[in-house]
Amino acid sequence: MRLHIFIPLDNRPYYMVNNTRNVHTPSIRRLTRYLRFLRAAKTRGVTVVSCSRIAESFNLSPVLVRRDLSFAGVLAAPKQGYRVNELIEDIEQSLGWDHKTHALLVGAGNLGSAIVKYNGFREQGLNIAGIFDSDPNLHGTLINGHKVFSFEKIVEYVKGLKSEYGISPDVGIITVPADSAQEVADKLIEVGVRAIWNYAPARLSLPENIVCESVSLCESFAILTHQLQMQDSGATFKGHEFEFSLDPNSTIC
Amino acid sequence: MRLHIFIPLDNRPYYMVNNTRNVHTPSIRRLTRYLRFLRAAKTRGVTVVSCSRIAESFNLSPVLVRRDLSFAGVLAAPKQGYRVNELIEDIEQSLGWDHKTHALLVGAGNLGSAIVKYNGFREQGLNIAGIFDSDPNLHGTLINGHKVFSFEKIVEYVKGLKSEYGISPDVGIITVPADSAQEVADKLIEVGVRAIWNYAPARLSLPENIVCESVSLCESFAILTHQLQMQDSGATFKGHEFEFSLDPNSTIC
DNA sequence: TAGATTGTTAATCGATTAACAATC
DNA sequence: TAGATTGTTAATCGATTAACAATC
């Protein structure tokens, strides 16, 4: 069934937000954590769980968990808690983890190898459909059972994938150095991926319709060092009282 | 000079926020990108740059860039743009990248190796002061010139670091599987690190005073697949008009 | 002075929390 | 019914943007 509905955006009812699955990023991040928790609970034989229990184990407010779950499309839950099995399925579905996601990985260095070897991704539906590198020394070597191919042959390889297996990869994973990232991205889009998962510390210019998610380890490192910096500096926070050092040349007083 | 100042938090003046360096996370992430841009500009011989120029290259609003820079403590900039050299130094300082950060890395697999080998981190001040793994086959092997040691010998190793080189590592990097992450974290805290950089998909319980920054590749993957999901689903957004598919069993109408 | 720029306050937008109604 | 729970609206908190003043 397919509907066209016209609603004033500013006064959109709650369930509509649900139905359009307009989930925001912080919610998605948390949903993956709930999923991990729920899968562990399932193996322990737990069949029903309350949002307070989930919230507790992540130091979150129960309301936030409820909201996240409702964003994920978990409606009509019984009033004595959520059923673990259903919840797992609903979250998986809302994340797009209920079906295979075929990906091409370019850059067979340590980072690329780590991604290929990590079983966690496979459990979330990631299928590495091809690995490529420009280094001839790597061509033909195996990573977790997958052969590494020449990056130059990617077009032809993907044609083969489509004709022989009916697979057209949706995701391109970039684990090459920053200076070749754009070039790789362009080629990946050329062979038809709709999304780029970028591990290179580079800003990519991509067509509007291409989804891009970047993992920036440097940004993460910055958050870490900045927090250490905060601890080191005299700046302390006690109620309303500040204690801090001033540069002697400072004009602020 | 060291001051104690008492200010009502709700009505804190702008420059005070500056001085306490209470920078928020999104700002820090962006500052690393500005830094990359500025370093590249510097090598091209650019000496002065306006915030609009920076903003433009990242598709951000110039005001946001100005605010970020002001958070980073860049005050008293001339009115014809920021001086590139000063700006780089100020950002590096505000991120804590103006001095060495000594780290112990536990888990010498592909991910750990990728971190050790990536020169980008070294440029931001990261010094790998020791690599450890529980796998005896790895003991004594070299990663980028660093020897891998037995995890069991970490206490003794760190003692040696302190006595011989006067180095006490502040950061512990965890690149082990999820099920041993907590154990590794406990040991790292025991040997005196003040911050944990966690790459394992596990929630760690840590003392309050320990800084923790987690890199969750699964969360990133979820954001990617969810966005693909959004594209796939019939849900489209045209002005105020929705088009979406309804489950035939749905009670919503 | 005009133009280009920075810096600050106020307004908006987005995400989380508080309060409470509804249900089993 | 009382207790435990979910689901929703309103309020708060945080981050970004708009508007504008100030400066070279």
pLDDT tens digits, one per residue of B181-202: 999 999 999 999 999 999 999 9
**Distance between CA atoms of residues A158 and B15, nearest Å:** 56
Chain B residue closest to A12 (CA)? B240
pLDDT interval class at A76 (50, 70, 90): low
- Chain length of chain B: 253
Q: Which residues of A touch B117 (CB under 8 A)?
A: 109-110
The verdict on a CB contact (< 8 Å) between B29 and A197 is no
Q: Quick one: tokens of A109? A: 């260095």
Compute the radius of gyration of chain B from its Cα atoms.
23
A6 touches chain B (CB under 8 A): yes
**Distance between CA atoms of residues B210 and B195, nearest Å:** 5
Among the listed residues B212, B73, B66, the one whose alpha carbon sits nearest the alpha carbon of residue A223 = B212
Q: Any bridge partners for residue B130, and if so which?
A: B104
Q: Which residues of A touch B125 (CB under 8 A)?
A: 225
pLDDT interval class at A23 (50, 70, 90): confident
Nearest nucleotide from residue A22 CA, by C1' atom = C14
**Residue numbers of B between 137 and 156 with CB closer than 8 Å to A:** none
Percent of chain A with pLDDT over 90: 75
**Distance between CA atoms of residues A112 and A215, nearest Å:** 13
B127 touches chain A (CB under 8 A): no
Contacts of B204 (CB under 8 A, 6+ apart): B181, B182, B185, B196, B198, B212, B214
Evaluate the CA torsion angle A189, A193, A194, A197 in order and state its sign.
negative
DSSP string, chain B: -EEEEE--GGG--HHHHHHTT---HHHHHHHHHHHHHHHHHHHTT--EE-HHHHHHHHT--HHHHHHHHHHTT--S--TT-EEHHHHHHHHHHHHT-SS-EEEEEE--SHHHHHHHH-HHHHHTTEEEEEEEES-GGGTT-EETTEEEEEGGGHHHHHHHIIIII-----EEEE-S-HHHHHHHHHHHHHTT-SEEEE-SSSPPP--TT-EEEE--HHHHHHHHHHHHHHHHSS-EEETTEEEEE--TT----
pLDDT interval class at A18 (50, 70, 90): very low
What is the arithmetic mean of pLDDT over B16-28?
64
Q: Is the pLDDT of residue A252 over 80?
A: no
Rounded to a whole number of angstroms, the distance from the CA of B118 to the nearest CA of chain A is: 9
Instruction: Calculate the average pLDDT of chain B.
Output: 84
Q: Is the pLDDT of residue A8 over 50?
A: no
pLDDT interval class at B158 (50, 70, 90): very high
pLDDT interval class at A74 (50, 70, 90): confident
SS (H, E, C) chain A: CEEEEECCHHHCCHHHHHHCCCCCHHHHHHHHHHHHHHHHHHHCCCCEECHHHHHHHHCCCHHHHHHHHHHCCCCCCCECEEEHHHHHHHHHHHHCCCCCEEEEEECCCHHHHHHHHCHHHHHCCEEEEEEEECCHHHCCCEECCEEEEEHHHHHHHHHHHHHHHCCCCCEEEECCCHHHHHHHHHHHHHCCCCEEEECCCCCCCCCCCCEEEECCHHHHHHHHHHHHHHHHCCCEEECCEEEEECCCCCCCC
Q: Is the pLDDT of residue A92 over 90?
A: yes
Nearest nucleotide from residue B67 CA, by C1' atom = C7
- In the prediction, which pLDDT does A78 show? 64
DSSP string, B171-221: EEEE-S-HHHHHHHHHHHHHTT-SEEEE-SSSPPP--TT-EEEE--HHHHH
What is the arithmetic mean of pLDDT over A15-31?
68
What is the arithmetic mean of pLDDT over A69-78?
74
Is B108 in contact with B137 (CB distance < 8 Å)? Answer: no
- Per DSSP bridges, beta strands A126-133 and A142-143 are unpaired
Most confident of A63-72, A238-247, B188-197, B240-249: B188-197
In angstroms, the CA of A35 and the C1' of D2 are apart by: 33
- In the prediction, which pLDDT does B234 show? 52
Q: Is the pLDDT of residue B231 over 90?
A: no
Q: Quick one: tokens of A180? A: 């070749």
What is the arithmetic mean of pLDDT over A64-92?
85
CA dihedral A23, A121, B126, B212 (to 10 degrees): 50
Residue among A111, A225, A231 minimizing CB distance to B97: A225
- In the prediction, which pLDDT does B192 show? 97
Give the residue, B88 or A6, on which the prediction is more confident.
B88
- In the prediction, which pLDDT does A245 show? 35
pLDDT digit string, tens, across residues B92-134: 999 999 999 999 999 999 999 999 999 999 999 999 999 999 9
Residues having Cβ less than 7 A from any atom in strand D: A 13-15, 50-52, 62-63, 66-67, 69-70, 74-77, 79-82; B 24-27, 60-61, 63-64, 67, 78-80
pLDDT digit string, tens, across residues A96-125: 999 999 999 999 999 999 999 999 999 999
Q: Is the pLDDT of residue B143 over 70?
A: yes
- In the prediction, which pLDDT does A232 show? 82
Give the residue, B231 or B113, on which the prediction is more confident.
B113
Percent of chain A with pLDDT over 70: 82
pLDDT interval class at B247 (50, 70, 90): very low
**Residue numbers of B between 23 and 42 with CB closer than 8 Å to A:** 23, 25, 28-29, 31-33, 36
pLDDT interval class at A80 (50, 70, 90): confident
pLDDT interval class at B249 (50, 70, 90): very low
Percent of chain B with pLDDT over 70: 82
A238 touches chain B (CB under 8 A): no
Among the listed residues B229, B237, B236, B235, the one whose alpha carbon sits nearest the alpha carbon of residue A170 = B229
**Distance between CA atoms of residues B96 and A232, nearest Å:** 10
Q: Is the pLDDT of residue A60 over 50?
A: yes
Residue B171 half-sphere exposure toward CB, CA atoms < 13 A = 28
Residue among A9, A110, A233 minimizing CB distance to B110: A110
Rounded to a whole number of angstroms, the distance from the CA of B112 to the nearest CA of chain A is: 8
Chain B residue closest to A204 (CA)? B58
pLDDT interval class at B77 (50, 70, 90): low
- In the prediction, which pLDDT does A131 show? 98
- In the prediction, which pLDDT does B19 show? 36
pLDDT interval class at A57 (50, 70, 90): very high
**Residue numbers of B between 53 and 92 with CB closer than 8 Å to A:** 57-58, 76
